[in-house]
């Protein structure tokens, strides 16, 4: 039996080369190199035995031709498989059962992807259909809510208008009642005419002029003091003058007008008509006299 493998192994070890380094340099897999060194050539594909031995021998400086002559007729084996690339790494040398495993794995992966896609698509379709079913009731609910809100708004506006109308009605009634009371008071005092009352409030005499309805025949010129009263009637208005506006107290149509001015101040004109005091004209307030 030949010792080709032993020679190659001895030369490799002399050069301190590992099988991995030989694999890197000549491209023959570690498993093939181990089979060659063990003279187990039946593990090496027939078309590549001589080529692998030649490359190995040339790497460790052996005569490749002599080694191949020793190989002689020992190539009477049948290879277990026929891979496409026997010069590559062991990971590419697959047994037939490994090929079946890979094929079944690929088929299983395709089936798994299909099932996952079906599972993922189904919920999406269900969600879309559910949304379509829910959308119509949702729209109807929104419309109902809008109708209820509109009715509430209309009710609030109506209630607000009612309250506003009620307040305005009460204000109108109150105004009419006040006007009626004033008119009634006037009738009590003077019937259908205006009434005027002037009361003296000073201890000294105060000149007072009353001019009813611009009728010169009814002018009253008088000096009064110490609570003396003047009472007169007119159809439309009175005009009053006095030399001491702070010395009289005026009552018109039963309402207190009060003192027109201050002591010593001249009341040049006061017009009283159905609207009350419509005009007042007073002289400047007199300066106090210096004490001697």
Confirm whether 19 is domain-assigned: yes
Per-residue pLDDT at 38: 94
CA distances from 208 to 24, 27, 176 (A): 144, 146, 36
Provide CB contacts within 8 A for 199, sequence distance 6+.
227, 228, 229, 230, 248, 249, 251
Confirm whether 186 is domain-assigned: no
Question: CATH number for the domain including 45?
Answer: 1.10.260.40
Per-residue pLDDT at 252: 93
Confirm whether 108 is domain-assigned: no
Mean pLDDT in the chain?
A: 80
Q: Among residues 93, 127, 162, which one ends one of the domains?
A: 93
More confident residue, 74 or 85: 74
Per-residue pLDDT at 30: 96
Q: Is 141 left (phi over 0), alpha (psi -120 to 50) or beta?
A: alpha
Q: Identify whether the C-beta of residue 208 lies closer than 8 Å to the C-beta of residue 229.
A: no
Report helix, strand or coil for 227.
coil
Confirm whether 174 is domain-assigned: no
What residues does 248 pair with on adjacent strands? 200
- pLDDT by residue (tens digit) across 205-261? 989 899 999 988 889 999 999 899 999 999 999 999 999 998 999 999 999 999 999
Residue labelled with tokens 């190539």? 75
* Structural domain total, the chain: 2
Q: Among residues 34, 67, 93, which one ends one of the domains?
A: 93
Distance CA 149, CA 156 (A): 10
Q: Comparing C-alpha atoms, which of 277, 225, 270, 269 is closest to residue 248?
A: 225
Confirm whether 188 is domain-assigned: no
Structure tokens at 250: 């005026």
Q: What's 250's DSSP letter? A: E
From the number of C-beta atoms within 10 Å of its C-beta (0-12, 13-18, 19+), residue 243 rates as middle
Quote the domain boundaries for residue 249. 194-282
Q: What's 155's DSSP letter? A: H
The model carries a pTM of 0.36
Confirm whether 9 is domain-assigned: yes
Distance CA 153, CA 145 (A): 12
Q: Comparing C-alpha atoms, which of 232, 245, 161, 160 is closest to residue 201?
A: 245
Q: Comparing C-alpha atoms, which of 192, 241, 234 is closest to residue 213?
A: 234
CA within 13 Å, CB half, 132: 5
Confirm whether 33 is domain-assigned: yes
Sign for the pseudo-dihedral over CA of 259, 261, 263, 265: negative
Provide CB contacts within 8 A for 227, sequence distance 6+.
199, 200, 201
Residue 150 sits at the vertex; the CA angle it makes with 145 and 151, to the nearest 5 degrees, is 100
Q: At what angle do helices 30-37 and 49-59 cross, to 10 degrees?
A: 90
Residue labelled with tokens 């007729």? 73
Per-residue pLDDT at 81: 40
Q: Among residues 24, 59, 93, which one ends one of the domains?
A: 93
Q: Is the predicted pLDDT of residue 191 greater than 70, yes or no?
A: no
Q: Calculate the dihedral angle through the C-alpha atoms of 218, 224, 227, 232, rounding to the nearest 10 degrees.
A: 0
Please give the average per-residue pLDDT across 166-186, as a whole number: 69
Confirm whether 225 is domain-assigned: yes
More confident residue, 161 or 240: 240
Question: CATH number for the domain including 228?
Answer: 2.60.60
2 alpha carbon, distance to own chain's centre: 92
């Amino acid at each position: 039996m030949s010792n080709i493998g032993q020679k190659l192994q001895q030369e490799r070890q002399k050069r301190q080369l590992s099988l991995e380094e030989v694999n890197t340099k000549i491209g023959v897999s570690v498993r093939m190199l181990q089979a060659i060194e063990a003279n187990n050539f039946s593990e090496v594909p027939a078309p590549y035995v001589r080529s692998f031995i030649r490359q190995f021998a040339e790497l460790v400086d052996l005569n490749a031709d002599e080694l191949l002559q020793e190989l002689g007729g020992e190539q009477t084996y049948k290879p277990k498989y026929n891979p496409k690339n026997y010069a590559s790494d062991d990971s590419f040398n697959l047994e037939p059962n490994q090929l079946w495993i890979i094929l079944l794995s690929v088929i299983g992966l395709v089936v798994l992807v299909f099932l996952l896609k079906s599972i993922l698509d189904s919920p999406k379709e269900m969600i879309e259909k559910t949304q379509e079913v829910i959308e119509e009731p949702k729209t109807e609910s929104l419309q109902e809510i809008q109708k209820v809100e509109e009715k509430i708004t209309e009710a609030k506006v109506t209630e607000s208008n009612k309250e506003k109308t009620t307040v305005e009605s009460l204000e109108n009634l109150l105004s009419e009642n006040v006007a009626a009371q004033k008119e009634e008071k006037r009738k009590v005092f003077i019937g259908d005419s205006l009434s005027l009352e002037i009361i003296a409030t000073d201890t000294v005499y105060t000149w007072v002029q009353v001019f009813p309805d611009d009728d010169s025949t009814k002018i009253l010129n008088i000096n009064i003091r110490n609570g003396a009263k003047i009472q007169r009637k007119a159809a439309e208005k009175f005009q009053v003058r006095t030399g001491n506006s702070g010395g009289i107290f005026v009552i018109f149509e039963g309402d207190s007008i009060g003192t027109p001015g201050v002591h010593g101040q001249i009341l040049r004109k006061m017009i009283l008509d159905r609207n009350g005091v419509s005009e007042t004209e007073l002289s400047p307030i007199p300066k106090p006299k210096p004490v001697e």
